[in-house]
A and B are shown apart, each in its own frame.
Chain A
Amino acid sequence: MVRKSYVLKHWQLYIMLILPLAYFFVFKYLPIYGVTIAFKDFNVFKGISASEWVGLEVFKDIFSQKSFYVALRNTFMLNGLDLVFGFPAPIILAICLNELRLQKFKKVAQTMLYLPHFISWVIIGGIVYQVFATNYGMINLLLEDLGIGPIPFLSEKNAWLATYTSVGIWQSVGWGSIIYLAAITGINKELYEAAEVDGASRLRRIWHITIPGIRTTIIVLFILKIGDMVDIGFDRPFIIGNVMVRDYSDVLSTYIYRIGLQSGQFSTATAVGLFQAVVGLVFILTANYVSKKTTDEGII
């Protein structure tokens, strides 16, 4: 009896892989080849391959532009604000949700709190521009009753930073709490009972049992978040930002869109994108390494 080779015997598995692999080749790896225009003087009519090589000229160009450094600084600044204010929020929320006595209410509250996660940034943007408007927005009307304001939440740079950060928390805090709630579920119930017998108050139990119990999760997520510092989504800064606050709202992703697709500087925009991708990769790999060293857990 001739033993058929593995590939022949399981040809069906390989057939099923053809289309997905072709997809990755065309839509993911061809653009990676396209990155070469960061080192070329890209000419739309000549195409990617025939354009002339210029070495590192494009990079010299972007590193001498002030707007590039502004976008880079803003990327770190907005991500930093998210880290400082947005990172602890879901942890606090998860602990509070866990302490609720009425299970029915907890379920209902969770359902409500997850909702913003499913709303697109365009819709959130629409809501934000209405609620935070300077003349008749709900928030400024409330502040007026308190004798404060009006505060130009959308057109003054520093106020806008607060808007950007708080909207981000509003959108993600509920959803972000799920992972911590799951971690809390994993804590041994006997610890709480023993602490209660010993007369530990609720706050003490949170401090000495809940928080140490989810410490690893917190550390891993914190490190990974730092690994994502260079990476910033497009929708949120683009939609919530506007020309008045561009000094703060222009980040790498929106900068690439502006100089690339809107001004047609393809080589320059590609070079910025490549810079972001490479630095981002270094950040992620470092974060993953640190995470594995400190907690034995990583993503790769």
Chain B
Amino acid sequence: MQKTSKFSLFDVINTLFIVGCVILCLAPFLHIMSVSLSSNAPIVSGKVTIYPIDLNFDAYKRVFADITMIRSLLFTILLTVMFTGSAMIMTTMAAYSLSVNSLKGKQLFMFIIVFTMFFSGGLIPEYLLMKDLKLLDSMLVLILPGLVSPFYMIIMVTFFRSTIPESLNEAAEIDGCSDFGKLFRIVLPLSLPVLATLSLFYAVGRWNGFRDALFYITDQNLYPLQLKLYQMVMNNMISEVTLAEGANASAVEYMPESLKAASIMFATVPILIVYPWLQRYFVSGLTLGSVKG
């Protein structure tokens, strides 16, 4: 019943407001992209806004010539794939077992897991544990501590319980199907949406993760892209701000603005490429999560 098709003043203002929001949302990215593609003179004189001036790719040539950047990118891709794969296997195992209603001890297991969402030892005990386990400065320290997210696991349990018909499980059981058999032949084939969504959740979390690398990694060969970018670009920018006031501004290593911007773009583009899929699955994932267990 859309009988009022007239575009009122309200609609005009509202549409303009949303257009404004979208521009505010995208302008910073356009600006960084423009800076990365411009030459130095127009940048420092403040002429570059949201389109490049003196278009050139010199900054990108320098980024791609930096072997440590490329290595960091490849390392992060490998890390993300390995982390996502192992996290999904662990999460699925836990979620499937806990989704079986008759499982004895289910309440206790659930409590053990959910409790960790609300109380944790904190940074220092975790750091000391990694140290005792000899995990510091290894790839494993970026994989193992995050293998099962209780939150994602609950989303998966809820999905298994609400979408797999009980009758299907019973029929399989009568036919002598084992629990493994049910998982592989019934549950997993019917759960592709939740598997895709949660894989993306884990992958994006790992790709964007910075904190754990800052805490646990000192070996530059094991820098994930975010930490690499932080050490290379952010540190430089922060010292510019903090030293600009003092006399020792020359202590900051000079780095052209376009190179900083190109490095930022280098880390942003991979996310932009997968964004169309991300967006679709993430939104559906959010609605999956809102179904109460």
Which residues of A are interface residues toward B (Cβ below 8 A)? 6-7, 10, 12-14, 16-17, 19-21, 23-24, 26-35, 37, 47-48, 93, 96-97, 99-102, 105, 109, 111-116, 118-123, 125-127, 129-131, 133-136, 138, 141, 154-155, 170, 173-174, 178-179, 182, 193, 196, 201-203, 234-235, 239, 242-244, 253, 256-257, 260-261, 266, 269-270, 273-274, 276-277, 281, 284, 300
Interface status of B148 (Cβ within 8 A of chain A):
yes
- Smallest distance from the beta carbon of B70 to chain A beta carbons, Å? 18
- Smallest distance from the beta carbon of A116 to chain B beta carbons, Å? 6
Candidate in A125, A256, A266 with the most chain B CB atoms within 10 angstroms: A125
Interface status of B194 (Cβ within 8 A of chain A):
no
Decide: A27 and B238 in contact? CB cutoff 8 A: no
Complex interface: chain A residues within 8 A of B210 (CB):
120-122, 235, 239
Complex interface: chain A residues within 8 A of B120 (CB):
28, 31-32, 277
Q: Which of B42-95 contact A (CB under 8 A)?
A: 43-46, 49, 90-91, 93-94
Decide: A17 and B8 in contact? CB cutoff 8 A: no
Q: Beyond A21-B112, A112-B22, A133-B241, is A37–B279 a contact (Cβ under 8 Å)?
A: no
- Smallest distance from the beta carbon of A258 to chain B beta carbons, Å? 11
Known: A12-B179, A17-B98, A20-B91. 18 other contacts (CB 8 A): A16-B94, A24-B113, A27-B129, A27-B147, A32-B125, A37-B128, A99-B11, A100-B14, A101-B7, A126-B32, A126-B234, A130-B257, A136-B44, A136-B46, A202-B10, A234-B211, A266-B128, A269-B123
Decide: B264 and A202 in contact? CB cutoff 8 A: no
Decide: A122 and B267 in contact? CB cutoff 8 A: yes
Decide: A123 and B268 in contact? CB cutoff 8 A: yes
In the assembled complex, the Cα of A12 lies from the Cα of B271 at a distance in Å of: 39
Interface status of B26 (Cβ within 8 A of chain A):
yes
Name which residue of chain B comes closest to A183, CB basis. Answer: B290
Q: How many A-B residue pairs have CB under 8 A?
A: 272
In the assembled complex, the Cα of A130 lies from the Cα of B241 at a distance in Å of: 10
Complex interface: chain A residues within 8 A of B279 (CB):
111, 114-115, 118
In the assembled complex, the Cα of A179 lies from the Cα of B128 at a distance in Å of: 39
Decide: B267 and A127 in contact? CB cutoff 8 A: no
Candidate in A126, A129, A141, A300 with the most chain B CB atoms within 10 angstroms: A126
Decide: A122 and B234 in contact? CB cutoff 8 A: yes
Name which residue of chain A comes closest to B229, CB basis. Answer: A122
- Smallest distance from the beta carbon of B86 to chain A beta carbons, Å? 10
Name which residue of chain A comes closest to B182, CB basis. Answer: A12
Interface majority SS on A: helix, strand, loop or mixed? helix
Name which residue of chain A comes closest to B17, CB basis. Answer: A96
- Smallest distance from the beta carbon of B129 to chain A beta carbons, Å? 5
In the assembled complex, the Cα of A196 lies from the Cα of B93 at a distance in Å of: 52
Q: Which of B240-270 contact A (CB under 8 A)?
A: 240-242, 244-245, 257, 260-261, 263-264, 267-268
In the assembled complex, the Cα of A196 lies from the Cα of B4 at a distance in Å of: 10
Decide: B178 and A12 in contact? CB cutoff 8 A: yes
B124 contact from A96, A136, A178, A270, Cβ within 8 A? A270
Decide: A31 and B126 in contact? CB cutoff 8 A: yes
Decide: A129 and B234 in contact? CB cutoff 8 A: yes
Decide: A20 and B93 in contact? CB cutoff 8 A: yes
- Smallest distance from the beta carbon of B229 to chain A beta carbons, Å? 5
Complex interface: chain B residues within 8 A of A23 (CB):
90, 144, 147-148
Interface status of B196 (Cβ within 8 A of chain A):
no
Pairs across A and B, CB under 8 Å, 11 listed: A14-B97, A27-B126, A99-B11, A115-B25, A122-B229, A122-B234, A122-B267, A138-B27, A155-B241, A182-B290, A256-B122
Decide: A109 and B21 in contact? CB cutoff 8 A: yes
In the assembled complex, the Cα of A6 lies from the Cα of B100 at a distance in Å of: 12
Decide: B93 and A16 in contact? CB cutoff 8 A: yes
Name which residue of chain B comes closest to A5, CB basis. Answer: B104
- Smallest distance from the beta carbon of B24 to chain A beta carbons, Å? 7
Decide: B179 and A13 in contact? CB cutoff 8 A: yes
Q: Beyond A35-B122, A261-B127, is A101–B25 a contact (Cβ under 8 Å)?
A: no
Decide: B25 and A178 in contact? CB cutoff 8 A: no
Name which residue of chain B comes closest to A276, CB basis. Answer: B122
Q: Beyond A48-B128, A141-B46, is A100–B15 a contact (Cβ under 8 Å)?
A: yes
B245 contact from A37, A112, A155, A273, Cβ within 8 A? A155
Complex interface: chain B residues within 8 A of A19 (CB):
90, 93
Decide: B93 and A119 in contact? CB cutoff 8 A: no
In the assembled complex, the Cα of A223 lies from the Cα of B26 at a distance in Å of: 32
Decide: B29 and A37 in contact? CB cutoff 8 A: no
Interface status of B167 (Cβ within 8 A of chain A):
no
Decide: A120 and B226 in contact? CB cutoff 8 A: yes
Decide: B226 and A122 in contact? CB cutoff 8 A: yes
Name which residue of chain A comes closest to B268, CB basis. Answer: A123
Q: Beyond A19-B90, A100-B14, A277-B120, is A10–B100 a contact (Cβ under 8 Å)?
A: yes
Complex interface: chain B residues within 8 A of A276 (CB):
122
In the assembled complex, the Cα of A121 lies from the Cα of B49 at a distance in Å of: 22
